[in-house]
Structure formats: C-alpha cells, structure tokens
Structure 1
C-alpha cells in the first residue's frame, strides 16, 4: 500500500497509539473521520478479499472501512479506550442489514461481519462513548455514508468506476463542490506492482451523522503518476 500520509492526518496517526486513559466521560470528539473503501481494489490486490459468511456486501459501491473520532485540541484519534460496554449484536439488530451491506468484513478467511463490528467498537467506538452509545455509533456512521453518497458524488462529476485514470484535482473539486472540504485519497498497487489504483477516500462527519467539511489539505496518493489514480470497475 502507498505509504504517503496526508499531512492533516499525520499528527493524528502519530499520536493514535498513546494511552487513552485521559479520555473521560466528559471528553467529546470534535468530529469523525469516515474512511470509505472501494471493494474492487482490495479484491484485486495481493491481499485479496473474501465475502462474509452472512449478508450481501455492496461490492459495486463504496463501503465503510472505519469511523474514527477525532479530538482536534489534542490532535488525536484515540484507540482502545476504557469501556465497560461489550459489543452485543442484539444492540445493532435493527442496523444489521445496512451494516452487512455497507460495513462488511472482506477479510480472508471468510468470517461473520459481526466480528469486524466488534473490533471497530473496541478500537474506535469506545473512544466516542461520551457522545454515542454502541447503537448510535454505528447508526451515525451509516447516516454519514448515506448523506455523502460518495459514488454518486463522484459519478455526477464524471468520475466513474470504469478503469480510467482520473486527476487527483478532479476528485478534490468534486468533494469541495459537495461541501466536504478537502479530500484524502490512499491507493494500492495492482498485482503487478505497477499501477496505482484508488483504494480509500477519507472524509468527515459529525456525531449526528451529518457530513462535515474536512479541514486540512488536499492529498492524492500517487505523485509518481502525475497525481492520477485508476478507478477500477466493480
């Protein structure tokens, strides 16, 4: 995977491993990073993908990879915070069909997506518990995903998953026009290690599940190719 990191995320990632003991019930995230993944890119990579044991993932649309609380004052995306709330599938039963479609596990070997949701709750949801309980953490991510509708946003700007290379600036302008601030795009190399293909797009949302303009700077992963990235067919 391309190792470059957009500088508006660099500080947060550097501090992400710090102790979360400072996070109390009164600590409130300023907003959330929502990371969208293009499934075909993962499936075409050396890592590959496996369908989950249950549900039908939206393999022709962007899916949620992570929903990370961000604390701007400290520049932190904390992980694995102290919580007494254990992940219980029954708590998100009403969201299960949407989560299976838009937040599925594509890890190999195949597994139940509930294992992924448990991991995400422990890693990131636990650090937003001051404002979102277990159910509302996942509900907020789904609302942001629906409100942004990333595939339509890009398609309306002429950026379609057809195997074409698109300039990074074209992607950024589409995101800016939608009121989403600056975009950060990460990539993977193809199986031959030659071409850089669009893998993930990081945008922002609020705890209420509304889109939020990401502060920072436009970032496209592949400067080697004139900041152009390939958008694979689903």
Structure 2
C-alpha cells in the first residue's frame, strides 16, 4: 500500500488556505482611537459610563485585523466567547482608556465583549484574549495622540484645523501616516472623530498602512471640546 506524503511547502500552503477560509488569517491591524467629544457632539449624543465621565483624551475603539486588499475577517470563533475573568487585572486600565459612550450607560463590558468577539477572535492564533486587550492598551500609551496634536498647537478647543495639519502632526510624532475619520456635529460640520494607525501582524509594532479605509472628511475640521 502506497502512503501519500505532502511536501512541507505544500502543507504550509494548505494551512494558509484553511486559515483564510475560516477567517483566522490576517495581514495587519488597524488600531482605532476615537475622540469622545466628537462621539458625543452629534444629534444622537452619548451616555457616560456608569463609573463616570472618561478622561479628556482619545479613547480606544478597537484593534481590528485586516487584509491587505481592504477586506477584513469578523466573528471568527463563536467557541471562544468573551470572558471577563481573563482580563480582570486590566479592568482598571480599560475603564478610562476603552470606555463605552453608547446609550444607555453601561460599565463598558458589553463594548469589550463586542470588540473581542467580532475582531479579537480573528487574531486568536496570535493573540489570546488577555494579549489582545493588553496590546491595545500598550499601543495607546505608545502613540499618545493628544500629546502629538497639542505639540503642533492643535487642541480640543472647538476650533477648526486643516486635515493636513492633523495628519502631519500625528505622522511627525509616530513616524507613520494615519488615516483620519470624520463625523458631523449637530450642525452638520465635519469634526475629528477617529484616528486609524496600522500595526503589524503581532499587534505590537507600528507600520505604514498597506491600505487606507475610505470616507469623506472636509479639508478643515473641528476638534471639539470634551
């Protein structure tokens, strides 16, 4: 009886295809931070978490696995649900840095659950739940967006700034070009909402973005107070 063997290279190719089919393979992360003043300054408003108003600083939205072609995996493993006990030691850091502003008010746990189950499980071959949240906290400390902007005399004071000056301030600070997402305030004016920064496959190192998202943003945008 002849036993079929698969060459190591072919086996690796098959594994890559299998991972891609099941949504566990990805190329890089978008690390996304939002400005809470812009989240709240819309016609729908916001609700502070039950533990109090977050600091006047950029807030983590998520760490999102993406493909180089612009698509992304999601909800990759229903058998690995969010487990708060696995990140209990991080809660005191997550609450001020990764706060939910959605209504009704909450303790932000449902926000973290959503981010892990939709995005985090797609990186679980590299990051377990604890590593996923810890890496996001580390990336926020590494990027220091508000300090980057203030060093270029761009402050959350309700004034308008050019989109180019905001990008340049962040790029000069972190060494990589960010992508800026705007939303509109209650009067329909563009405002600085989210900043996308690209991170390598490990979730630890900033990189140049292989591809940027799409979306409209005015050439002059408001940086609202919070």
> What TM-score do you get using the length of structure 2 for normalisation?
0.83
Say whether 1:103 aligns with 2:98.
yes
State the distance in 2 between where 1:222 and 1:120 align: 25
Match of 1:89 in 2: 84
8 Å Cα contact 2:70/2:213 also seen in 1: no
Q: How has the CA–CA distance of structure 1 residues 91 and 55 changed in structure 2, closer, same or farther, with 3 Å as cutoff?
A: farther
Residues 52 and 70 of structure 1, relative CA distance in 2, 3 Å threshold: same
Please identify the structure whose Cα radius of gyration is greater: 2
Match of 1:158 in 2: 153
| Partners of 1:68 and 1:78 in 2: CA distance | 9
Structure 1 residues 114 and 134, CA, compared in 2 at 3 Å: closer, same or farther? Answer: same
> Aligned runs of 1:56-205 on 2, under 5 Å?
57-58=54-55, 60-72=56-68, 75-193=70-188, 195-205=189-199
RMSD: 2.3
Which stretch shifts more, 120-129 or 162-171? 162-171
Q: What secondary structure, in the 3-state scheme, does the structure 2 residue paired with 1:115 have?
A: helix
Q: Secondary structure at the match of 2:113?
A: helix
Residues of 2 paired with 1:24 and 1:44: CA distance? 36
Unpaired stretches in structure 2, ≥5 consecutive residues: 1-18
Question: Could you say what secondary structure the match of 1:203 adopts?
Answer: strand
Structure 1 residue aligned with 2:11: none
Per-residue deviation, 1:34: 1.1
CA gap of 1:110–1:217, structure 2 versus 1, over 3 A, is closer
- CA change 1:192–1:120 in 2 (3 A) is same
State the alpha-carbon separation in 2 of the partners of residues 171 and 99 from structure 1: 26
Question: Aligned partners of 1:21 and 1:82: how far apart in 2?
Answer: 13
Deviation (angstroms), 1:170: 0.8
User: How far apart, CA to CA, are the structure 2 residues paired with 1:139 and 1:228?
Assistant: 34
Q: CA separation in 2, counterparts of 1:39 and 1:75? A: 26
Once residues 49 and 168 of structure 2 are traced to their aligned partners in structure 1, the CA distance between those partners, rounded to angstroms, is 35
> Per the alignment, do residues 24 and 49 of structure 1 end up closer, same or farther by CA in structure 2, a change over 3 Å counting?
closer
- For the residue of structure 2 that corresponds to 1:187, the secondary structure is strand
Contact 1:148 1:211 in 2 (8 A): no
> Bigger shift: 76-85 or 62-71?
76-85
